[in-house]
Amino acid sequence: MSCSFSKQEQILQQFKGLTNQISPKFERCTGISASRYELLSQLYNTEEINQSTLQKAVNIDGAAITRHLKQLETSGMVARRRNPNDNRVIFVSLTEEGRQRIVEYRKENMGFVKQMLHDFTHEEVDALSDMMERMQTNISEY
């Protein structure tokens, strides 16, 4: 019992340890932070999107989103404009520049992920993804 618990406890620490390692390496490898890459990558699939729905999609606090987007805007990769029909919301979209740059980033990103999962079967990746989703819902009520 106590052994099983300590095993489970380790999971959490392993999780944190792993992400701590991944983030800086990802950034060094690809030239962009994982969060910004995710934002761009979300935008890549849409025309224009509410900042708030974008925020929900990437699971990061709104405050951080605001800052990331402002930075991406000043670096010329995204455009922001207010929704004329509702002046509270902001529409975000990729610029041409951003649309080109993300292709490069995507390459680097794939290289990195491929290395990280190089000995994983397709089933393992699925299982891992599934387990993470379950964890997410299991703690969502907290």
Partner DNA sequence: GTATTATATTTGACTGGTCAATGGATAGTG
Partner DNA sequence: CACTATCCATTGACCAGTCAAATATAATAC
Alpha carbon 80 to its chain centroid, in Å, reads 20
Count Cβ atoms within 10 A of the Cβ of residue 33 and give its class: 0-12 exposed, 13-18 middle, 19 or more buried: middle
> How many other CB atoms sit within 10 Å of the CB of residue 14?
10
What does 104 bind: DNA, a copy of itself, none (CB cut-off 5 to 8 Å by kind)?
Answer: none
Q: Considering the complex, state which of residue 24 and residue 111 has its C-beta at the smaller distance from DNA.
A: 24
87 lines the binding site for DNA (CB under 7 A): yes
Interacting residues toward a copy of itself by CB under 8 A? 4-5, 7-23, 25-26, 28-29, 34-35, 38, 41, 58-60, 109-110, 112-120, 122, 124-129, 131-136, 138-140, 142
114 lines the binding site for DNA (CB under 7 A): no
36 lines the binding site for DNA (CB under 7 A): yes
89 lines the binding site for DNA (CB under 7 A): yes
| Rounded (10°) CA dihedral 10, 13, 18, 20 | -170
Cα gap 120→22, rounded to integer Å: 17
41 lines the binding site for DNA (CB under 7 A): no
Q: Considering the complex, state which of residue 30 and residue 78 has its C-beta at the smaller distance from a copy of itself.
A: 30
Q: Considering the complex, state which of residue 35 and residue 51 has its C-beta at the smaller distance from a copy of itself.
A: 35
Buried b (16+ CB within 10 A) or exposed e, 52-90: eebbeeeeeeeeebeebbeebeeeebbbeeeeeeeeeeb
Q: Considering the complex, state which of residue 86 and residue 119 has its C-beta at the smaller distance from DNA.
A: 86
Positions in the binding site for DNA (CB under 7 A): 16, 20-21, 23-24, 28, 33-36, 50-52, 55, 59-71, 80, 85-90
